[in-house]
Structure 1
Amino acid sequence: MTKRVPLNGSEKESLRASLDRHRDVVRWKIYGLDDEALRQPMTPSGTNLLGLLKHLATVEYGYFCTTFGRETEPLWFDPYTEDMQVAAHESTEDIVEFYDRACTAADKTISELSLSTLGTSWNGNTVSMRWALIHMIEDTVRHAGHMDILRELIDGATGDHPPA
C-alpha cells in the first residue's frame, strides 16, 4: 500500500487519504484471484470476496451520493437485501467496475462539499460529510478485515498490501 495519511494534513485531506488507503486494501484483496475463488462462499452465511466488494460499492453510493442528494446509477438489485449477494449473471468485471464507479462518484461529492455539509442518511438521520467519511472508513476497514481472512483461507495471502 503506497497511500499514507499525511502526518500534518488537514482534517479532510487526512480522512480522504485514510479512505483511499483502505479502498486500495480492498482492491488488493481481490487481485489475482479467478472468478471461482472470488465467488466462493467462505462462511456459513455465504460471505465471499466479490459480495463484499459489491456491498462496499453500494454503501459508497449510499453514504456519499444518496445522503447528499447526488445522482447514483440505477441499481439492478435491492440494496437492502441483495448487496452482498452476487448473482450468476453478474460478472467479476461488472462488480469491480461498479465499485470503481461508486468510488469515483463518492470522491466527486467529497471534493465538492465541506465536512460540515449536512445530508439525510438512508434511515432519516441528519448527518454531516464528516460523519459520512468516518462511517465509510469504518465500514471499509471492517470489510477489508473480513476480506483479509477470506483471502488467507483461499490462498494464504495476508496483509494490507501485496508482498514485495
Structure 2
Amino acid sequence: MAEIAIDPTLGPVVNRSADERAVLESFLDFHRAVLLRKLRGISDADATRRLVPSATTLAGLVKHLTEIERNWFHILLDPAPGETFPTTEEAALASFTLAEGDTLANLVAGYERACARSRELAARFDLDHVVPHPQLGEVSLRWILAHLIEETARHVGHADILRELTDGSTGAL
C-alpha cells in the first residue's frame, strides 16, 4: 500500500489512530489554528466591522474565544485567589465587546498566550481529572476538551462566514 502524503497542519488527520488525548488535543488545536488563519491579512477596520445583525465581529470572536480559554482551562484548572467562573449571560455577551484600544494584533497575541497557557494547564492532568463547576457540578478534563472543541469550532464557523463577507476568502486552510 502506497504511503499517502498528509498535510502536517491537519493534526486530526495526522493523529487519526492516536490515543484519545492526542485526538482531542489535535482537534482543538486545529480549530484554534483555523481561527488564526481566518484573521490573517485583515485590517483592524475589517476585524471590527459588523456584517451581521448581531454585534458579532471577527475581533469580537477572537476576544470571546480568549475568554473561553481562560474560563474553562485557567479558572477551572488553576484559579487565582478570588477568581470565579462567570455564570451569567451578560458575562458571555460582554466577552464579545471590544474596548478602546483593542487591536486585532493585540487580541490575536492574547489568544495565542491563552491557548499556550491552556495547553500547559491541561498537560498537568489526566483526562479523568475532575474539577468543580458552579453550574454543572463537576466536569472532567476530557469533557472540557470536548466542550472547547465544540465551542471553538462553532465560532470558527462564524469567523468563516464573516471572513467570506469581508473579502470572499473561504475554507479552513
Question: Considering the TM-score relative to the shorter chain, is it more than 0.5?
Answer: yes
1:105 matches 2:117: yes
**Do 1:70 and 1:109's aligned partners in 2 also have CA atoms closer than 8 Å?**
no
- 1:136 paired residue among 125, 129, 148: 148
- 1:59 paired residue among 58, 68, 73: 68
Deviation (angstroms), 1:85: 1.2
**Do 1:68 and 1:118's aligned partners in 2 also have CA atoms closer than 8 Å?**
no
Q: Mind listing any 5+ residue stretches in structure 1 that lack a counterpart?
A: none
Task: Tell me the TM-score normalized by structure 1.
Answer: 0.89
How far apart are the structure 1 equivalents of 2:134 and 2:36?
26
Deviation (angstroms), 1:4: 2.2
Q: Which runs of 4+ in 1 moved over 3 A?
A: 78-81
- 2:97 paired residue among 60, 63, 85: 85
1:69 matches 2:87: no
**Do 1:117 and 1:129's aligned partners in 2 also have CA atoms closer than 8 Å?**
yes
Task: Quote the residue 1:127 is aligned against.
Answer: 139
| Larger CA Rg, structure 1 vs 2 | 2
Question: For residues 79 and 101 of structure 1, do their structure 2 counterparts lie closer, same or farther at Cα, with a shift above 3 Å needed?
Answer: farther
| Structure 2 counterparts to residues 2-41 of structure 1, below 5 A | 2-5=9-12, 6-41=15-50
How far apart are the structure 1 equivalents of 2:33 and 2:80?
24
Give 3-state SS (helix, strand or coil) of 2:139's partner: strand
How high is the sequence identity, in percent, across the aligned residues?
33
Task: Tell me the TM-score normalized by structure 2.
Answer: 0.84
Deviation (angstroms), 1:124: 5.0
Q: CA RMSD in A?
A: 1.9
**Do 1:116 and 1:128's aligned partners in 2 also have CA atoms closer than 8 Å?**
yes
How far apart are the structure 2 equivalents of 1:66 and 1:122?
11
Give 3-state SS (helix, strand or coil) of 1:136's partner: helix
**Do 2:78 and 2:121's aligned partners in 1 also have CA atoms closer than 8 Å?**
no
